Amino acid sequence: MTKRVLRSAILLIFAFIAVQAQSPTPESKNVEIFGQKIHYLEAGSTSNPAVILLHGLGGDTSNWALTIPALSGKYHVYVPDQVGFGKSDKPITNYRVAMLVEFLDVFCKKLGIQKAALVGNSLGGWTAAAFAIAHPEKVDKLVLVDAAGYTPKRWGGPEITKEALAALNPSTTEDFKRLFGLILYNKAMLTDQFVEQALTNKLKRGDGYTINSFIESVLRGEDYLDGKTQKIKAPTLVLWGKDDGLTPLGIGKAFAEDIRGAQLVAIDKCGHVPQMEKAAEFNAALLKFLGAGHTAQVQK
């Protein structure tokens, strides 16, 4: 690891500690939906506008650890472990995006959330967009972060294969190295210790079945957003890592083209999880958008 990379890592750690010290610890809670325990974090005043953060495939609430403190001063933040992931129950069922949308709808009803800004990363972005289409009256603003949901035909990407999708469910350290090579721009982070801890955490979460089930849903062609996102009425920010190897920027450009008035912001030297890899830039763009009183114009 170079001195420059080491210095950046140290600064990131201290920045995280400083933010955490200034912000109340989010409350860990559970709610029952369709007989399933759904774990979520909650932070911020109930008098503030609601924001819901949705993680991606194989993720959990920890994906938003650097986002929650930045938002909780001005917003009432909800961060669920989506069904099948994290500390939420993992029923044996056919997982698909439509299921996540229905669980999110009931989540809002149970917690009395009448309208919220949705921020979704990867699979969470797909879910957020699908929710905005199905329940437009419940979405104040929409933020798609390196989101999935379009077929390769829509954005000009390579054909989706079962072999390529299988890489999303790593079971060895070598598998994780290959996957993180697509997710992260900063390859210096891929130390043996980092990868070993990632595999350890994944095995503890026990979400392998969930991931495989979502892969099967994708192969069946379920719930794709092609031709549907034009119906989205909420002000939308498409926020992307410019060097994402998992959901390339071409997908982000397609979302920005299809959603009327959407704003596209691409972060340099950043991969699939900008809220973690470039937290300061990500939070600045997110807060600017959420605080704006009108829809921004598309930035090409």
CB-facing half-sphere around the CA of 58: CA atoms within 13 A = 21
Q: d(Cα 17, Cα 240) in Å, to the nearest integer?
A: 25
d(CA 210, CA 208): 5
Whether residue 129 lies inside any domain: the answer is yes
Work out the pLDDT band at 17, boundaries 50, 70, 90.
Answer: very low
The reported pLDDT for the residue numbered 300 is: 27
Query: For residue 9, is it within any domain?
Result: yes
Question: Is residue 268 one of the residues assigned to a domain?
Answer: yes
Ranges of H-type helices in the chain? 3-22, 68-71, 97-111, 123-134, 152-155, 162-166, 173-183, 192-205, 208-219, 249-258, 274-277, 279-291
Q: What range defines the domain where residue 252 resides?
A: 3-291
What does the alpha-carbon distance between residue 59 and residue 286 come to, in Å, rounded to a whole number? 20
In the chain, how many domains are there?
1
Taking the C-alpha atoms of residue 157 and residue 164, their distance in angstroms, rounded to an integer, is 13
Indicate whether 101 belongs to any domain. Answer: yes
Q: Note the pLDDT tens digit of each residue in 47-92.
A: 999 999 999 999 999 999 999 999 999 999 999 999 999 999 999 9
- In whole angstroms, how far apart are CA 9 and each of 106, 179, 190? 39, 21, 12
Contact 36, 89 (CB under 8 A): yes
Residue 191 lies in a domain: yes
> CB-side exposure of 98: number of CA atoms within 13 Å?
8
Q: Are strands 236-241 and 139-145 parallel, antiparallel or unpaired?
A: parallel
6 pLDDT above the threshold of 50: no
Q: What is the mean pLDDT of the chain?
A: 91
208: domain CATH number is: 3.40.50.1820
- Cβ(238)–Cβ(271) below 8 Å: no
3-state secondary structure of 118: strand
Is residue 297 included in any domain, yes or no?
A: no
pLDDT, tens digit, 9 for 90 and up, residues 209-227:
999 999 999 999 999 999 9
What's the rounded mean pLDDT across residues 112-120? 98
| Residues across the chain | 300
Q: What is the largest CA-CA distance in the chain?
A: 51
What pLDDT sits at residue 266? 98
- The pLDDT value recorded for residue 23 is 57
